[in-house]
Chain A
Amino acid sequence: MDSSRRNLCLSVAAGFGTLMFGGILDAQGAAKQKTKERVIKIQAKRFVYTPNEITIKKGEAVVLEFTSLDFVHGFNIPDLKIRADLPPGQITRVSIKPEKAGVYDFLCDNFCGSGHEEMSGRIIVK
């Protein structure tokens, strides 16, 4: 793992394996956060995330709390090697603490129908 990956220091355990970033959670969303983190609620439904643009501060610990309404959408930030499935009927939390400023695009990477290609957003780290 290179230094930039280490700096991201993120992990997600939402029943799909461990991902890079920060914080620990479980499939039922009953995460025990190690530290107080800002929670940002995100709704996923065909074919949009709401909100789809999120701004956070560099080094800020944030929990993205997903609720999917209609499909097992995906959440993927390719530049950070982070992804999770978002099953409907449960909350999926992804903890992040990016240490590097920039714009990180995310997308639904589970094909969800006509309009799937437009289901995306971005995280702006300042």
Chain B
Amino acid sequence: MTDHILNRRNFLRLTAVGGGAVFMSGLYGHALAATAGQAAAPYDDFYFVQLSDSHWGFSGPPNPDAANTLKKAVAAVNALPTQPDFIIFTGDLTHTTDDPKERRKRMTEFRDIAGGLKVKTVHFIPGEHDAALDNGAAFKENFGATHYAFDHKGVHFIALDNVSDPGARIGDEQLEWLKNDLEKQKKDARIVVFTHRPLFDLVPKWDWATRDGDKAIALLMPYSNVTVFYGHIHQEHHHQTEHIAHHAAKSLIFPLPAPGSQEKRTPLPWDPAAPNKGLGFREVEAEIKADKYDITELPVPKE
């Protein structure tokens, strides 16, 4: 329990600077499994950091400090007294450009900045700004596969690509891959999914959806312990599709309005009196019990 408390302290430090921290606590899960006589795989306490929507290369009034925000987040993560086991960037690493050369330049610059992270286990998935105009070609050159799976301390992580198709489809081929990957998992396996767009229809008229996301959710539904972390909407948001929780992360560039709250999804204006307003950081502590998540939001400091 002591370790648990220490990790929470680290979370509070992290949330003061950037990104989303996710704490996977195994303590309660072990007890729960033992009580219920289930065969849940053993796992250890750990946490990872989720960063999202840095839009490297963006410039404009919504963030006059755009050249520094990502760097500040990297420095903040590096300042954590206990480093996370790994870091995940959930898409829109770069801001889109029609120029393939410029796209690659932005990705190289982003990669160099992310390379400054102390933690060297860093996973990336694309957003539509990174991948939709070339079907993920430049992203793959710089960051590897756009969808993949890995295991870490008893948790199965699945990264889905719902952006390389400009029509926001996961696609039948990837869905088949997902199906095959899930078939290897126990029904009570601890599964975490990373995507860029929401898998469910959050606000389709704002393009906050995945065209065939319902098919992915249907494949995930038989599994009792699934959590989805995504980006795209530039704000904290939480949603349930039955027992599956979906958590959106804030961005590192500019906030967007609350889902469906206005006609257009235009960036919220930069407030000179409150720099980084809306770019706050998130703490998510994921307890294994009953799919419940304790989340605390703290603002980003002005400096």
Q: Which residues of A contact B95 (CB under 8 A)?
A: 114
Q: A110–B135 Cα gap in the complex (Å)? A: 12
Q: Which residues of A contact B205 (CB under 8 A)?
A: 78-79, 105-107, 120
Q: Which residues of A contact B264 (CB under 8 A)?
A: 117-118, 120
Does B161 sit at the interface, judged by CB under 8 A? Answer: no
Q: State whether A107 and B96 are in contact (beta carbons under 8 Å apart), knowing that A74-B167, A112-B166, A120-B264 are contacts in the complex.
A: no
Contact of A113 among B98, B204, B265 (CB under 8 A): B98
Q: State whether A113 and B168 are in contact (beta carbons under 8 Å apart), knowing that A78-B205, A107-B207, A120-B264 are contacts in the complex.
A: no
**Smallest beta-carbon distance A8→chain B, Å:** 16
Q: State whether A117 and B96 are in contact (beta carbons under 8 Å apart), knowing that A109-B168, A111-B166 are contacts in the complex.
A: no
Q: Which residues of A contact B163 (CB under 8 A)?
A: 111
**Smallest beta-carbon distance A116→chain B, Å:** 8
**Smallest beta-carbon distance B77→chain A, Å:** 28
Q: A76–B203 Cα gap in the complex (Å)? A: 12
B96:A78 contact, CB within 8 angstroms: no
B89-125 to A contact mask, C-beta < 8 Å, 1/0? 0000001111000000000000000000000000000
Q: Which residues of A contact B168 (CB under 8 A)?
A: 109, 111
A114:B167 contact, CB within 8 angstroms: no
Nearest neighbor of A79 in chain B, beta-carbon distance: B205
A111:B133 contact, CB within 8 angstroms: yes
Nearest neighbor of B263 in chain A, beta-carbon distance: A105
Q: Which residues of B contact A116 (CB under 8 A)?
A: 96, 128, 207
A114:B207 contact, CB within 8 angstroms: no
Nearest neighbor of B265 in chain A, beta-carbon distance: A117
Q: A114–B166 Cα gap in the complex (Å)? A: 13
**Smallest beta-carbon distance A39→chain B, Å:** 25
Interface, chain B (partner A; CB < 8 A)? 95-98, 128, 132-133, 163, 166-168, 201, 204-207, 209, 211, 263-266
Known: A78-B205, A113-B98, A114-B98. 13 other contacts (CB 8 A): A76-B204, A105-B205, A105-B263, A107-B205, A109-B168, A109-B204, A109-B211, A111-B128, A111-B133, A111-B163, A112-B166, A117-B207, A117-B265
